[in-house]
């Protein structure tokens, strides 16, 4: 049982175009252990303070309603998702481990 | 200073000479407060009632993860905490957004005056009831309107509230709020606020330049967000007959 806490969440990104009612279109589906948990969108519109960064447009499941920071890189975003899942894993539900 | 208070309360309720005399006998302390400064913090024992004479302030809470929620915005003429002094301990914070001129009236002074002057009490109740109505509308706003309508609604509300105290010129008013302030008040992300402001500009409903917000087409903006000003109770006969004379004009240095 204790070993389970050491199992990292497998986070996979898949490119997707997203309608954000703005000129930000480039997005990524974020899958954690095979389940869609978020959609990231790259902030390309000129009005954004930090152009080229990644914003969690939508969170699903345990990421629903979470106000995530804006990420400089996709690696930062992936790390953040893993950490969120690891933190929550100590509670009841285990979505990030087999069995 | 006391005149400002008298005029504010008279906008809600007829006062007698004795009422006015009692209000003028109050010796409020006027403080110049810097921007982004707390007037009172969660956990503090509330001693004074705060009245904003100039500038903008807000009521807010901070969640354990650092997320801030703004529950109310105060403009000149607003009491920040009319009734909280009855409580033992503050359950939220009140802080300035811009530099503010703030009047502090002691809890004891308020208690004495309300014990002896029923009209003053009624006027204070009016203020508190309108604040509550605004809070209800914010609940509706955050719970049921889309991001762009939410922000448009806030802009319409501020226009009417500031107009009532003479702080609007040509549908323009001071807007010292940051993107994050708006996001924290409306339950949105900075990114959504940013996109919404761009959209409202594109639709030629507003401009935002040099910390001044201009509403280019008030009727269109109201229609856009389904704004109904009834909750501000500005149509009240007692209020509307007096609101032509901005009660703050005498004390405003701006």
Question: For B91-111, b where at least 16 C-beta lie within 10 A, e where not — what string?
Answer: ebbbbbbbebbbbbbbeebbe
Inter-chain residue contact A70 with B194, CB threshold 8 Å: no
Mean of all residue pLDDT scores within chain B? 88
Same domain? B112 vs B149: no
Nearest neighbour of B198 by CB, restricted to A47, A49, A70: A47
Measured in angstroms, the CA of B26 and the nearest CA of chain A are apart by 46
Q: What is the CATH number of the domain that holds B177?
A: 1.10.10.10
Same domain? B100 vs B179: no
Same domain? B112 vs B175: no
Res B47 pLDDT > 50: yes
B124 belongs to a structural domain: no
Residue pair A89/A5 in contact (Cβ under 8 Å)? The answer is yes
B172 belongs to a structural domain: yes
B186 touches A: beta carbon within 8 Å: no
The residue among A22, A44, A59 with the most chain B CBs within 10 A of its CB, best to mutate, is A22
B208 belongs to a structural domain: yes
Q: CA-CA distance, B102 to A38, in Å (whole number)?
A: 45
Q: Which tokens go with A88?
A: 């929550």
Nearest neighbour of A22 by CB, restricted to B67, B190, B198: B198
Residue B178 belongs to what domain range?
145-232
Q: What is the pLDDT of residues B138-152, one digit of tens each?
A: 999 999 999 999 999
Q: What is the pLDDT of residues B55-87, one digit of tens each?
A: 999 999 999 989 999 999 999 888 888 877 788
Same domain? B8 vs B104: yes
| Phi, psi (deg, nearest 5) at residue B160 | -70, -40
Distances (CA, A) of B240 to A43, B54, B152, B194: 46, 22, 24, 36
Same domain? B173 vs B97: no
Q: CA-CA distance, A33 to A94, in Å (whole number)?
A: 11
CA neighbor of B175 nearest in space, from B77, B92, B69, B98: B98
A22 touches B: beta carbon within 8 Å: yes
Same domain? B9 vs B106: yes
Task: Give the count of domains, chain B.
Answer: 2
Same domain? B109 vs B149: no
Instruction: Give CB contacts under 8 A, 24+ apart, made by B159-163.
Output: B159/B215, B159/B218, B160/B229, B160/B232, B160/B234, B161/B75, B161/B232, B162/B75, B162/B76
End-to-end CA distance of chain A: 11
pLDDT attached to residue B234: 73
Nearest neighbour of B194 by CB, restricted to A21, A48, A67: A48
Q: What is the CATH number of the domain that holds B36?
A: 2.60.120.10
Q: What is the pLDDT of residues A3-60, one digit of tens each?
A: 455 678 899 999 999 999 899 999 999 999 999 999 999 999 887 878 899 999 999 9
Among B102, B119, B136, residue at a domain's last position: B119
Query: For the whole prediction, is pTM greater than 0.90?
Result: no
Same domain? B110 vs B6: yes
**Chain A residue numbers touching B192 (CB-CB < 8 A):** none
Same domain? B29 vs B110: yes
Same domain? B167 vs B220: yes
* ipTM of this complex prediction, to 2 decimal places: 0.77
Same domain? B68 vs B163: no
Q: CA-CA distance, B112 to A25, in Å (whole number)?
A: 62
Count of C-beta atoms within a 10 Å radius of residue A37: 23
Interface of A with B in 29-68 (CB under 8 A): 43, 45, 47-49, 55, 67
Same domain? B88 vs B177: no
Task: Match 């930090």 to its residue by tokens.
Answer: A50
Decide: helix, strand or coil at residue A48: coil
- Partner residues linked to B169 by β-bridges: B172
Measured in angstroms, the CA of A97 and the nearest CA of chain B are apart by 26
Q: CA-CA distance, A89 to A93, in Å (whole number)?
A: 7
């Amino acid at each position: 049982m204790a070993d389970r806490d050491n199992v990292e969440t497998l986070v996979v990104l898949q490119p997707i175009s997203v309608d954000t009612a703005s000129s930000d279109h480039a997005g990524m589906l974020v899958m954690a252990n095979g389940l869609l948990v978020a959609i990231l969108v790259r902030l390309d519109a000129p009005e954004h303070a930090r152009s080229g960064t990644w914003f969690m447009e939508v969170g699903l499941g345990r990421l629903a309603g979470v106000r995530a920071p804006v990420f400089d890189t996709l690696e930062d975003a992936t790390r953040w998702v893993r950490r969120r899942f690891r933190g929550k894993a100590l509670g009841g539900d285990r979505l990030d481990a087999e069995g | 200073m006391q005149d400002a208070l008298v005029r504010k309360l008279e906008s809600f309720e007829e006062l007698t000479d004795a009422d006015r005399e009692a209000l003028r006998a109050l010796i409020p302390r006027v403080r110049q407060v810097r921007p982004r400064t707390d007037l009172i913090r969660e956990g503090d024992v509330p001693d004074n009632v705060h009245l904003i004479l100039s500038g903008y302030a807000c009521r807010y809470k901070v969640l354990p993860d650092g997320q801030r929620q703004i529950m109310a915005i105060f403009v000149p003429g607003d009491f920040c905490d009319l009734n909280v002094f009855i409580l033992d301990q503050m359950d939220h914070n009140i802080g300035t957004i811009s530099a503010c001129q703030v009047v502090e009236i002691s809890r004891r002074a308020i208690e004495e005056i309300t014990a002896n002057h029923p009209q003053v009490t009624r006027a204070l109740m009016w203020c508190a009831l309108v604040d509550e109505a605004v809070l209800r509308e914010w609940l509706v706003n955050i719970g049921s309107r889309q991001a762009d309508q939410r922000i448009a609604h806030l802009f319409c509300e501020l226009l009417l509230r500031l107009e009532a105290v003479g702080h609007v010129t040509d549908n323009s008013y001071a807007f010292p709020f940051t993107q994050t302030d708006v996001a924290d008040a409306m339950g949105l992300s900075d990114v959504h606020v940013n996109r919404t402001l761009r959209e409202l500009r594109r639709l030629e409903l507003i401009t935002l330049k040099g910390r001044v917000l201009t509403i280019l087409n008030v009727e269109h903006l109201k229609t856009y967000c389904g704004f109904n000003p009834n909750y501000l109770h500005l149509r009240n006969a007692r209020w509307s007959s007096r609101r032509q004379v901005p009660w703050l004009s005498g004390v405003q240095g701006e």
